Chains A and B, each alone.
Chain A
Amino acid sequence: MTGFPTRDFLALVPVAVLTSGGLVLLLSEVFLASVRRGYQAGLTLVVAVLAAVAAIVVPPAGAVFGGQATVDAFSVFVTVIICGGVALSALMSAGWLHARNAERGEYYALTLFAAAGMVLVGMASDLLVAFVAIEIMSLSTYSLTAYVRRGRRPSEAAFKYMILGAVSSALLLYGSSLVFGATGTTLFAAMHGPRGAGSMLLVGGLGLIASGLAFKIGAVPFHAWTPDVYEGAPTPVTAFMAAGVKTAAFALLARIFLSSQVGADVHDLSFEKVLMVLAALTMIFGNLMALPQRSVKRMLAYSAIAHAGYLLVGVVSARVEGARSMALAGLLFYLAAYTATVIGAFAVVGSIEERTRGDVEPDRAWDLSRFSGLARRRPGLAFAMTVFLLSLAGVPPTAGFVGKLYLFQAAVGAHLYLLAVVGVLSSVLGAFYYLRVVVHMYMRPAEGTEEPVAAPAMVFALGVAALVVVLFGLVAEPIIRLAQGAGAMVM
Chain B
Amino acid sequence: MNLLSVVTFVPLAGALAAALLPRDEPGQHRALALVVSLVTLALSLFLWFGFDVAAGAAEFQFEEQRAWMPSIGIGYHLGLDGVALLLVMLTTLLVPVVILSTWQAVQDRVKEFMIAILVLETAMIGTFAALDLILFYVFWELMLIPMYLLIGVWGSQNRVYATVKFFVYTFAASVLMLLAILYVYFHDGGTFDYVQARSALQVTTGQGRWLFLAFALAFAVKVPMFPLHTWLPDAHTEAPTAGSVILAGVLLKMGTFGFFRYAMPLFPEAALHFRPHIATLATIGIVYGALMCFVQTDMKRLVAYSSVSHLGFVMLGLMALSAEGLTGGVYQMLNHGVSTGGLFLLVGMLYERRHTRLVAEYGGIARQVPWLATVFVVVTLSSIGLPGTNGFVGEFLILSGTFLSRLPYGQVLAVVAASGVILGAVYMLVLVEKVFYGPIRNEENRHLPDLSVREAFVMAPVIVFIVLMGLMPGPFLAPAKPAVDRLVQRFQQTEARLGVQSQVGTVSTAVAARPPPSPGGAF
Contact = CB atoms under 8 A, between A and B. Distances in A.
Contact of A431 (B69, B171, B186): B171
B182 A397 contact: no
A476 B69 contact: yes
A68 B13 CA distance: 53
Interface string A473-491: 0001100110010000000
B185 A409 contact: yes
A480 B149 CA distance: 31
Interface string A401-432: 11001101100110001001100110110011
B141 A396 contact: yes
Given A431-B168, A480-B72, A484-B71, A412 B182 contact: yes
Nearest to B176: A424
Contacts of B160: 439, 443
B170 to A, nearest CB: 10
Given A435-B167, A442-B149, A443-B152, A424 B141 contact: no
Nearest to A473: B138
A417 B180 CA distance: 10
Contacts of A443: 152-153, 159-160, 163
Nearest to B68: A477
Contacts of A401: 138, 141
A132 to B, nearest CB: 36
Of B149, B179, B186, chain A has the most CB atoms within 10 Å of the CB of B179
Interface string B127-141: 000000010011001
B179 A408 contact: yes
B69 A477 contact: yes
Given A476-B69, A480-B69, A396 B183 contact: no
Contact of A480 (B71, B144, B159): B71
Given A413-B186, A435-B164, A443-B159, A477 B153 contact: no
B367 to A, nearest CB: 40
Nearest to B175: A424
Given A431-B167, A439-B152, A412 B69 contact: no
Nearest to A396: B138
B176 A421 contact: yes
A435 B148 contact: yes
A82 interface: no
Interface string A366-390: 0000000001000100000000001
Interface in A430-446: 431-432, 435-436, 438-439, 442-443
B21 to A, nearest CB: 13
Contacts of A413: 186
Given A397-B142, A405-B134, A428 B152 contact: no
A421 B179 contact: yes
Interface string A452-476: 0000000000000000000000001
A78 B176 CA distance: 31
A interface secondary structure, majority:
helix
A439 B161 CA distance: 10
A421 B137 CA distance: 17
A432 B168 contact: yes
A145 to B, nearest CB: 34
B interface secondary structure, majority:
helix
A395 interface: yes
A424 B70 CA distance: 24
Interface string A120-148: 00000000000000000000000000000
Contact of B145 (A395, A424, A432, A477): A395
A442 B171 contact: no
Given A432-B164, A435-B164, A443-B152, A397 B186 contact: no
B496 interface: no
Given A409-B185, A412-B186, A477-B70, A442 B152 contact: yes
A326 B153 CA distance: 40
Interface string A278-302: 0000000000000000000000000
A423 to B, nearest CB: 9
B172 interface: yes
A337 B141 CA distance: 19
Contacts of A397: 138, 142
A409 B182 contact: yes
Contacts of A390: 145
B178 interface: yes
Contacts of B152: 439, 442-443
A417 to B, nearest CB: 8
Contacts of B168: 428, 431-432, 435
Contact of B71 (A379, A405, A408, A481): A481
Nearest to B69: A477
Contacts of A481: 71
Contacts of A405: 72, 134, 178, 182
Nearest to B149: A442
B172 A409 contact: no
A425 B141 contact: no
A93 to B, nearest CB: 30
A431 B166 CA distance: 12
Nearest to B134: A405
Interface string B165-203: 001100110011011001101100000000000000000
Contacts of B134: 405
Contacts of B171: 395, 428, 431
B179 A412 contact: yes
Interface string B433-456: 000000000000000000000000
B265 to A, nearest CB: 22
Nearest to B73: A409
Contacts of A425: 172, 175-176
Interface in B83-133: 112
A428 B183 CA distance: 19
A417 B69 CA distance: 24
Interface in B195-249: none
Contacts of B179: 408, 412, 417, 420-421, 424
Contacts of A442: 149, 152-153
Nearest to B141: A396
Contacts of B185: 409, 412
Nearest to B185: A409
A17 to B, nearest CB: 31
B253 to A, nearest CB: 21
A425 B175 CA distance: 7
Interface in A127-184: none
Contacts of B148: 435, 438
Contacts of A375: 112
A80 to B, nearest CB: 18
B144 A395 contact: yes
Contacts of B141: 395-396, 401
Given A413-B186, A435-B167, A439-B152, A408 B178 contact: yes
Interface string B27-68: 000000000000000000000000000000000000000011
A465 B90 CA distance: 38
Given A412-B186, A439-B164, 5 more contacts: A395-B141, A409-B72, A421-B179, A431-B168, A431-B172
Interface of B: 23, 67-72, 112, 134, 137-138, 141-142, 144-145, 148-149, 152-153, 159-160, 163-164, 167-168, 171-172, 175-176, 178-179, 182-183, 185-186
Among all A-B residue pairs, the 4 with the closest Cβ atoms: A424-B175, A396-B138, A428-B172, A412-B182
27 contacts: A326-B72, A375-B112, A395-B145, A397-B138, A397-B142, A402-B69, A409-B182, A412-B179, A412-B182, A412-B185, A421-B176, A421-B179, A425-B172, A431-B167, A431-B172, A432-B168, A435-B148, A435-B164, A439-B164, A443-B152, A443-B153, A476-B69, A477-B68, A477-B71, A480-B69, A480-B72, A484-B71
